[in-house]
Structure 1
């Protein structure tokens, strides 16, 4: 349901609803908004939890669509803050998530989520769920509107009853007697109905039927003699007819009187009396019946009114708002328990405390001295205009604390007994929540440092002030090295403790007015204003690095030494806009991380050129893959013991502006640009086609696959499709991959590779023993070859340490009962040593450089 407006007024069914879509992915957010466009509602967007909270302060929303995983404030943190605000506690939330894990589902439903949608989101499901929630919200709005209308009718009925009761004193004695009987019967409607039909039946010696409406728009009948056939006949005629003449015609009754029960301008039902065999009713009896009917109607009205007033009084006492009734002089005449609890020393809203302390006081005395005159003026305005007046002001609670409240003064009654209903709504929690939300909108929830929004605002202000000063503005961009490894190894709680300590050290390393921000998971920014030179900023950065990294951090059971990469850029030197400043500092930080620099790296044009060059290359490689501008070359794999050709390894090449781009850089560029899977598919298709064209199924084809390619969901299907299209036996193909494929969660890579191995393809672990080598991968991946990296081969013919390392790798292969291949063999001494050590399969420039596909056939022919 929508959040109530701050004035306490209920929304109507004519109000236009709003759906708030919160996701940091701009493209997905726009798509979701497009899906909701057919709905008759406003659609608001927010790119972060902080922005969403700010928007919720400014407008009401009917439904919130909230992404769980967002930079900075996540979906769960945002939902928790929304639920902490009473006015937004019941707003329905649909969570979006990339993977619905049980823990996330439990946490989301604990926060009051109405649903979870897993990305990619079905358009139909998403549209249907939001539409259903909007319809439910409109239903609640209609219910509230109807309740308000009924409440107003009840008040009008009560006022009309008070006016008309004085007119009832002139009724006849018999009417007075009936009125007394009806009054003494009961305020319970069921007892009163039985009394009415019994008394009227006895008074006129006739059957009596009383027909009253029910709350569900049906009818309820009371008969004077439930078992009497005559009463039932009279009832059937009453239900079919509309006046006494028609009822007489439809029954055996010769004497019938019928009267609508009306009191206080409201129709309550119909009463009918009839005599089957007795004399016709006299004029006196007719007058008496009309008077008795009026008395019955009034009694029913009073009983109904009493029930409504009792319900209204119960609601007034149960509400958390203080409600007081004051006269034209401002003197308090009555109040509810919430008012007693707020304004009296012994007040207890749950114990029914006595309200005598408030009765007789002036409502203005409840305000703080500075606000009393203002309250009196608004009370006078309400009495003069007979219109409700709403204002915010400060009242004094019984314990002396000042309470921010919203007061609504509504005149009720007539000029003879005019009162003002005063509703006092405590705004303390709302004000506190608004303060918290404003703080959260500009601060990081974990470290309480400034966030990216505050950083952008400050940089924009500094850019506008640049003309007034010649000093520089330096921005230090910091990144915690290996932070993902900390999370993966020790858990996110330890990672959070590390970030908190880094934040505290950064804060202590600079002056109080220096802006320190956390703008990402492990990224921080420090802004120095009025810096004399870039060298001075770099020196300050070095001091910060020394302080942050000087001491280890104790995080639970782990002791970690923070490692920071820092880049610096200066507004007014190399950067001229806030956007350039952030980009340049980020580039400098990346340069520091790549070079593993232990000091700050100051941005230079050379750094920018290198970074821009990589950006351009990433764009070029995307076009090259799309246009098939790449080519394949093949390096022979030789049996050093026999001299026979064993197979060829397919290697991708790319010539750009006359320069040859190596395979490792091509793969790296493709991975950075998200094109690893398309590149891998192209390599498989081209190398399989070239291999099939050779017609040499006695040779083994080795093809490199990248980690991102293996993790692509279509990898295995595409591999099988390509091999079938070229009629190549899977046993003739070996897939080579490095252990980088297992850096992340290794299970998906293990599953994909075992599928390829089960289908018949061979597997080789390339660059074995380099960087990420792990024996556990040999347990889970059924490899057929281990390839010894060229870095071990370069010195193997004369370096004892290199020889021991290579022998150990050969021994591992023998223990695993797999073959071994040495790559990078360039000298005969290396080849001889490897052959004698048990590694006969070799490749390298000693045998042949990589051969262009056009020359590969001639090369194989020469070898025979």
Structure 2
């Protein structure tokens, strides 16, 4: 075959020189001769538009060509002469492409026709057409991975390779001579195919012939349908016309595309709509709201205690909880509602087309709380799940995404602040509260450097002699404009912003410095947040404060809550043990209010238990009194001292003393006060039993 190609290339080069054109193409209509096609014009790279133009030329065969056939940018079809044989008619075209807008003369057209005739009469080419080169071509088709299907002018199958057998499930012997439509075209599409085929035979116009790439739905022998990618061309004319198609099964490609599209819009863990898609749905719903005026609700959801589950049982258990919650949320919704996981433990729901708002949203929120909350078995362990929900209703609470999202977040924050398993609708005062919080954060960031914080001290007394045994350090913020700010207003904000680390270090150093001047038997207790404990330098910070102030380690007592213990990371355990070895005392604050306090007593080295004041205030309740007695017995049995917090009456003092508490704390013995007040009232031997 190579000699034929070389000679044809010589002829095409001669055409390029004779007509002074940048590109000459020799194109054959029969796919069997595709290996003999020539393109001269290396300085002008082939483009997609040029390939499509050549496909159209193949399909037209000897039909008239419109001027300016689109090709590569800057090039246009200048002239074309058919390559024809007496016994076969037109088999191809010799084409000239030029970037100059000119027309060929009649003499040039005759000269081009003469060159095309030379191509037709070339012996090697005649051998190819006669079939001597067909066996290699047939062999190529048989080993091709794509299905090859050839049909005649009547639509009957005349060629069917091995790949077609694998793709469609029919053997060549079974389909040869049968209508292609009934073999590979699904029944609902056959009528349209018949119309298109008739139009093409009558006019040569086709939406598919000559297209370089086309995606269609094909029919398998078993009746199933699947997507294929097809390239189709036509050769010959009239009763000698052949339509040839290469088809590729793209089912796996489409499945991958579907998976990618799904992943782009859905959460990988739960399968719910993701944040990006949810925001798009919200935008679409708001646009529709402007047209139909039908209200809808947006619900923001936040799972309570997922952090506890992640840290105590592992992230695998946490993931299992998220999957279970997602299933429960789906089960509580209607088909038209949209539920999404926004990330972490946050979810969102669009309640669309409900009968009445806000009543429908309130009812839905309660259904969600009932469905999600309560004990749940996760990997063989019973865990508690809580749910907080913030709700806005559009258009009442906003008509744009930014506003409704912001207000839903404010409503959720209020729900979380009001307790677990709570739902709250947005209220206008929440904006003012959020603005106040932002202003407070701005002031808080500079308060430490401006010296606006103070350390107050509340006495701890020995239960037997009621003499001061130490004090708890409590931070206060003296704001220059609003006065003394309650810790409830800024401690959570300091933790949220991370400022608690710097503030906590200052409180510890200040408290240690003050306590260093007290009698040697008195200890200072300092509250430590979970965020402080997660700092890699925490132990170093504690020891530096002791060294700098000269306070003995055994006189420092660090009070931690269950929140710290929930972060049951190795560094937390190691830090607790190291601090105890160094002599620092560890106290478990608010004991009895958590869910796993008893289990922590087995894991961590505590020196003291502090009974939460809620138990002390409820001692008149026999059940509560029994719990307090049990806590005291537990602590004493484990070698710990026990402090009762919130003692306000003589009766409470007598009761907890009788139960065996070793230390007492509460307004009965003194309110938190400045260092001067504490020194005057509790270190001079006066007012030891303050009212």
| Category of TM-score, reference length = shorter chain | 0.5 to 0.7
In structure 2, the CA distance between the partners of 1:665 and 1:159, relative to structure 1 (3 Å rule), is farther
Shift of 1:640: 5.0
1:726 aligns with 2:549: yes
Shift of 1:338: 0.8
Superposition TM-score, scaled by structure 1 size: 0.52
> Which residue in the other structure is 2:163 paired with?
338
Write out per-residue CA displacement over residues 648-700 of structure 1, whole angstroms, 9 at most, x where no aligned residue.
322111133434334455432222233333332222233233344x3755532
> Which residue in the other structure is 1:149 paired with?
none
Alignment check: 8 A CA contact 1:442 1:453 kept: yes
Write out per-residue CA displacement over residues 71-110 of structure 1, whole angstroms, 9 at most, x where no aligned residue.
xxxxxxxxxxxxxxxxxxxxxxxxxxxxxxxxxxxxxxxx
1:505 aligns with 2:366: no
- Separation in 1, partners of 2:492, 2:258: 47
- Separation in 2, partners of 1:652, 1:546: 37
> Which residue in the other structure is 1:789 paired with?
612
1:646 aligns with 2:473: no
In structure 2, the CA distance between the partners of 1:655 and 1:157, relative to structure 1 (3 Å rule), is farther
> Which residue in the other structure is 2:670 paired with?
848
Alignment check: 8 A CA contact 1:571 1:578 kept: no
Alignment check: 8 A CA contact 1:371 1:394 kept: no
In structure 2, the CA distance between the partners of 1:793 and 1:600, relative to structure 1 (3 Å rule), is closer
In structure 2, the CA distance between the partners of 1:784 and 1:404, relative to structure 1 (3 Å rule), is closer
Give the counterpart of 2:643 among 803, 810, 821.
Answer: 821
Question: Aligned runs of 1:480-499 on 2, under 5 Å?
Answer: 492-493=319-320, 496-499=323-326
Give the counterpart of 1:705 among 522, 528, 553.
Answer: 528
Shift of 1:449: 5.6
Alignment check: 8 A CA contact 2:391 2:426 kept: yes
> Which residue in the other structure is 2:298 paired with?
475
> Which residue in the other structure is 2:562 paired with?
739
- Separation in 1, partners of 2:557, 2:377: 47
Shift of 1:441: 4.2
Alignment check: 8 A CA contact 1:711 1:752 kept: no
- Separation in 2, partners of 1:158, 1:626: 90
> Which residue in the other structure is 2:46 paired with?
none
> Which residue in the other structure is 1:187 paired with?
none
In structure 2, the CA distance between the partners of 1:759 and 1:561, relative to structure 1 (3 Å rule), is closer
Alignment check: 8 A CA contact 2:457 2:675 kept: yes
Question: Aligned runs of 1:243-258 on 2, under 5 Å?
Answer: none
Give the counterpart of 1:680 among 492, 504, 521.
Answer: 504
In structure 2, the CA distance between the partners of 1:578 and 1:727, relative to structure 1 (3 Å rule), is same
Write out per-residue CA displacement over residues 108-132 of structure 1, whole angstroms, 9 at most, x where no aligned residue.
xxxxxxxxxxxxxxxxxxxxxxxxx
Alignment check: 8 A CA contact 1:479 1:565 kept: yes
Alignment check: 8 A CA contact 2:386 2:420 kept: no
Secondary structure of 2:333's aligned partner: helix
- Separation in 2, partners of 1:435, 1:809: 58
> Which residue in the other structure is 2:21 paired with?
none
1:321 aligns with 2:321: no
Alignment check: 8 A CA contact 2:304 2:386 kept: yes
Question: Aligned runs of 1:277-288 on 2, under 5 Å?
Answer: none
* Alignment coverage as a number of residue pairs: 544
Question: Aligned runs of 1:38-57 on 2, under 5 Å?
Answer: none
- Separation in 2, partners of 1:527, 1:321: 49
Alignment check: 8 A CA contact 1:325 1:335 kept: yes
Question: Aligned runs of 1:147-166 on 2, under 5 Å?
Answer: 157=2, 160=5
Secondary structure of 2:514's aligned partner: helix
Structure 1: tracts of 5 or more residues without a match? 1-155, 165-308, 348-354, 413-417
In structure 2, the CA distance between the partners of 1:460 and 1:682, relative to structure 1 (3 Å rule), is same
Superposition TM-score, scaled by structure 2 size: 0.64
Give the counterpart of 2:577 among 754, 759, 773.
Answer: 754
Alignment check: 8 A CA contact 1:501 1:553 kept: no
In structure 2, the CA distance between the partners of 1:318 and 1:651, relative to structure 1 (3 Å rule), is farther
- Separation in 2, partners of 1:773, 1:551: 16
Q: CA RMSD in A?
A: 4.9
Write out per-residue CA displacement over residues 432-470 of structure 1, whole angstroms, 9 at most, x where no aligned residue.
443454455445567766544443233323433444455
In structure 2, the CA distance between the partners of 1:781 and 1:330, relative to structure 1 (3 Å rule), is same
Secondary structure of 2:352's aligned partner: strand
Structure 2: tracts of 5 or more residues without a match? 10-134, 236-240, 687-691
- Separation in 1, partners of 2:586, 2:354: 60
- Separation in 2, partners of 1:704, 1:552: 31
- Separation in 1, partners of 2:669, 2:413: 40
- Separation in 2, partners of 1:855, 1:558: 50
Shift of 1:529: 3.9
In structure 2, the CA distance between the partners of 1:674 and 1:436, relative to structure 1 (3 Å rule), is same
Secondary structure of 1:541's aligned partner: helix
Alignment check: 8 A CA contact 1:472 1:531 kept: no
> Which residue in the other structure is 2:24 paired with?
none
- Separation in 1, partners of 2:664, 2:366: 52
> Which residue in the other structure is 1:658 paired with?
482
- Separation in 2, partners of 1:342, 1:683: 76
